[in-house]
Amino acid sequence: MFTSKVYTERRNRLRNKMQSGLVLILGNTEASYNYPANTYHFRQDSDFLYFFGLDHPDFAGVIDIDENKDYIFGNDVDIDDIIWMGPQPTVKEQAVKVGVNDTEPFAGLAEFLKSAIAKGRNIHFLPPYRGENYIQLEKLLGTPVAKIKENASVELIKAVVSLREIKDEFEIAEIEKAVAIAYEMHTTSMKMAKPGVVEREIAGTIEGISLAMGGPVSFPIILSVHGETLHNHYHGNTLEVGRMMVTDAGAETTMHYASDITRTVPVGGKFNQRQKEIYEIVLDANLKTIEAAKPGIPNLELHMLAARTIASGLKEVGLMKGNIDDIVKAGAHAMFFPHGLGHMMGLDVHDMEGFGEDYVGYNDEFKRSSQFGTAFLRLAKRHKPGYVFTIEPGIYFIPALIDMWRKEGKFTDFINYDKVETYKDFGGIRIEDDILITETGNRVLGKPIPKTVAEIEETMGS
Ligand code: GLY
Ligand code: MN
Ligand code: MN
């Protein structure tokens, strides 16, 4: 946990950004896995962690915007809980650590909110993402579950985004710890990528590294020789020479800050000529966009720079043809690069995505594109110092998409389909790093993870 001052200041800053009323931040409850008492590992809600810091189930926080008071609602444990879970600090003892002096049993929350509503006060809440909290909000506010999302406070969403999107030095230090764990996960994955190994042996080993060094993985590990499936969670393939293996994996620290790194390596440790050619294009897109990242530049511009770099690289190897600007304007590159360049990262690996991507990545200046590919860009707006985000270009050969576009006669001026046919067994390549925008430019967070062809071959051979 950070010092109590950090949480008090965050709540005060939120108060200053809001007009009036109460802000209700529900923490998470335990979530059942396959029967009620067998639960997933507890994960606290990220907004509760941000403003109230306590990593404990069944709490709610209230920030009174008009009265300069904060409350935590939660129950002290009884003897049954102590027998099963060991001794626990009281709610009051925990609340003091995050600068909150007013605590009440959870049952008092409904009455507290009811009396505020009766006085005509506004209750601001964020969009929930778990069923339990939908039901809780219905009980507390009398709003039917179906109406909860549309009644979430846009004023609160915008205020929270404006705070959480700027990472302070303590948060950056946590994220660097998460990248340090990812370093161990990814170099281990590289060294294990030998023919005959089954993907799950590697996925399981590196998930264990995350658990041993910090917390759980920050999202289910993507590890596959079929990297052309962007979020491939199937880990049953046996590795064979000639295939590229994508590992997209990150860790949470004990304080729940995330990392999100992707590396792609040739099974067996040596790139063949074709793999190297495509790899160098993706690496070029990764390096060029990192170099260009600085305050004031729109992330949309970085995305388009990646698109142009990929299109011109693919043209050089004969997979695309025509004028690069025309290719990118038409969206033809998206057959190979059908996703966005990246997203904000922090307490959530896709930071604050639960509010709605457009509140986080777009604003009045940037409207989401409707073009296939660019439409999936999660972050378009201009960068500011303190932003932490991912840069993750990729090239994929997706047989179903190739077949569909070819059949539709799509972009035949730009795509050399005959040559593309010969790459249908290639798979995919993605290279992802975590970037901090500084006052003057940017910094790639954490200890550098092998990325060039030479660095990867050296690591895999060691
Ligand atoms: N972890 C999925 C992604 O890279 O965004
Ligand atoms: Mn990733
Ligand atoms: Mn990512």
Q: What is the pLDDT of residue 25?
A: 98
Distance 61 CA to ligand 1 centre (A): 30
CA of 266 to the centre of ligand 1 (A): 20
Distance 2 CA to ligand 3 centre (A): 26
Greatest C-alpha distance within the chain: 74
Rg from Cα positions in the chain: 24
- Whether ligand 1 lies within 6 angstroms of the CB of 434 is answered as no
Instruction: Please state the separation of Cα 210 from the chain's center in Å.
Output: 16
**Long-range contacts made by residues 140-144, C-beta under 8 angstroms, separation at least 24?**
140/24, 140/109, 140/110, 140/113, 141/113, 141/117
**269 contacts 457 by C-beta, under 8 angstroms:** yes
State if residue 219 touches ligand 1 by the CB under 6 angstroms criterion.
yes
150: number of Cβ within 10 Å: 8
CATH of 4-164, one of 3.40.350.10, 3.40.50.300, 3.30.930.10, 1.10.3720.10: 3.40.350.10
Other CB atoms within 10 Å distance of the CB of residue 108: 12
| Residue 168 dihedral angles phi and psi, to the nearest 5° | -90, 180
Q: Tell which one of 186, 222, 246, 247 to mutate to probe ligand 1, the residue whose CB is within 8 A of the most ligand atoms.
A: 222
Q: What are the residue boundaries of the structural domains of the chain, listed by start? A: 4-164, 169-461
CA of 51 to the centre of ligand 3 (A): 25
Per-residue pLDDT of the chain (462 residues; tens, 9 = 90+): 999 999 999 999 999 999 999 999 999 999 999 999 999 999 999 999 999 999 999 999 999 999 999 999 999 999 998 998 899 999 999 999 999 999 999 999 999 999 999 999 999 999 999 999 999 999 999 999 999 999 999 999 999 999 999 999 999 999 999 999 999 999 999 999 999 999 999 999 999 999 999 999 999 999 999 999 999 899 999 999 999 999 999 999 999 999 999 999 999 999 999 999 999 999 999 999 999 999 999 999 999 999 999 999 999 999 999 999 999 999 999 999 999 999 999 999 999 999 999 999 999 999 999 999 999 999 999 999 999 999 999 999 999 999 999 999 999 999 999 999 999 999 999 999 999 999 999 999 999 999 999 999 999 997
Q: What is the pLDDT of residue 85?
A: 86
- The finding on whether 392 has its CB within 6 A of some atom of ligand 1 is yes
Question: Domain 169-461, what fold?
Answer: Creatine Amidinohydrolase (3.90.230)
State the pLDDT at residue 6. Answer: 98
| 171 Cβ inside 6 Å of ligand 1 | no
The CA distances from residue 170 to 6, 174, 260, 265, in Å, are 9, 6, 18, 33
Question: CA torsion angle for 396, 390, 291, 164 (degrees, to 10)?
Answer: 160
What separation in angstroms does the CA of 414 have from each of 74, 312, 314? 61, 11, 10
